């Protein structure tokens, strides 16, 4: 299946929608961590699912251990949200949230699930508010724990050939914490999103 690329206008509009949503999610994160969160410019691209693992390594960096949490969303737009946390950042998170920095695996799970829920919830709500779409999402679950970055994505488990990849990054000043939030949407969801973006552009 071939995917019609997003037009420059669609990409620009989507980028701005994502920017607003990212700001809201960043503010939520800043509030729970009581820290200043640095935001990146969101990136949007269509990738071949077979190359997704490689793309993720390029985004996050080679040879690092990460934990990752996934959360699925459905209804008007369907896809997967994945938040990737570098291992050093997990210790920062624990510290900022007032845990002992040598937290055990269970406590770390809980922390990553909580933070993911806040980030993904805020970003999806931001998108739906701006685009006027409806979305539901599942509870977050751990998809990788302290594993090398190049092993976390297994494209053979995804029934898609192409995916729209939306990427936003959050980091903290003077801290190692860095998280990458990815939204992945399959072929049919790209068309739904394209329609929602077109409607939005017409409305302004």
Binding site for other proteins (CB under 8 A): 9, 12-13, 15-16, 19-20, 22-24, 26-27, 30, 36-37, 39-41, 130, 201, 204
> Could you tell me how many residues make up the chain?
204
Instruction: For the CB of residue 26, give the shortest distance to other proteins in the complex, in Å.
Output: 6
Q: What is residue 4's DSSP assignment?
A: P
Instruction: For the CB of residue 95, give the shortest distance to other proteins in the complex, in Å.
Output: 19
Instruction: For the CB of residue 136, give the shortest distance to other proteins in the complex, in Å.
Output: 24
Nearer to other proteins, 31 or 146 (CB): 31
Nearer to other proteins, 92 or 108 (CB): 92
What gap in Å lies between CA 91 and CA 178, rounded to an integer? 11
Nearer to other proteins, 9 or 58 (CB): 9
Nearer to other proteins, 35 or 72 (CB): 35
Using DSSP's 3-state secondary structure scheme, residue 185 falls into strand
Which two three-digit tokens encode residue 23?
A: 């700001």
φ/ψ of residue 161, rounded to 5: -105, -35
CA distances from 156 to 24, 46, 50, 84 (A): 34, 18, 8, 19
Instruction: For the CB of residue 103, give the shortest distance to other proteins in the complex, in Å.
Output: 26
φ/ψ of residue 102, rounded to 5: -95, 55
Token look-up 């399959």 returns 186
Instruction: For the CB of residue 39, give the shortest distance to other proteins in the complex, in Å.
Output: 5
Nearer to other proteins, 22 or 83 (CB): 22
Using DSSP's 3-state secondary structure scheme, residue 6 falls into coil
């Amino acid at each position: 299946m071939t995917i019609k690329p997003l037009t420059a206008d669609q990409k620009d509009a989507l980028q701005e929608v994502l920017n607003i949503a990212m700001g809201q999610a960043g503010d939520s994160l800043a509030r729970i961590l009581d820290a200043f969160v640095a935001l990146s410019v969101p990136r949007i691209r269509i990738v071949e699912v077979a190359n997704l693992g490689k793309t993720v390594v390029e985004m996050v960096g080679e040879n690092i251990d990460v934990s990752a949490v996934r959360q699925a969303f459905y209804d008007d737009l369907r896809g997967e949200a994945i938040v990737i946390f570098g291992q050093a950042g997990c210790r920062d998170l624990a510290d900022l949230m007032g845990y002992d920095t040598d937290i055990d695996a269970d406590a770390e799970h809980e922390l990553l699930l909580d933070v993911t829920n806040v980030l993904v919830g805020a970003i999806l709500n931001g998108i739906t508010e701006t685009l006027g779409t409806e979305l539901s999402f599942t509870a977050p679950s751990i998809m990788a724990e302290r594993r090398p970055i190049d092993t976390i994505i297994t494209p053979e488990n995804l029934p898609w050939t192409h995916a729209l990849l939306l990427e936003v990054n959050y980091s903290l000043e003077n801290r190692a914490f860095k998280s990458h939030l990815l939204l992945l949407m399959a072929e049919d969801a790209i068309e739904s999103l394209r329609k929602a973006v077109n409607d939005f552009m017409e409305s302004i």
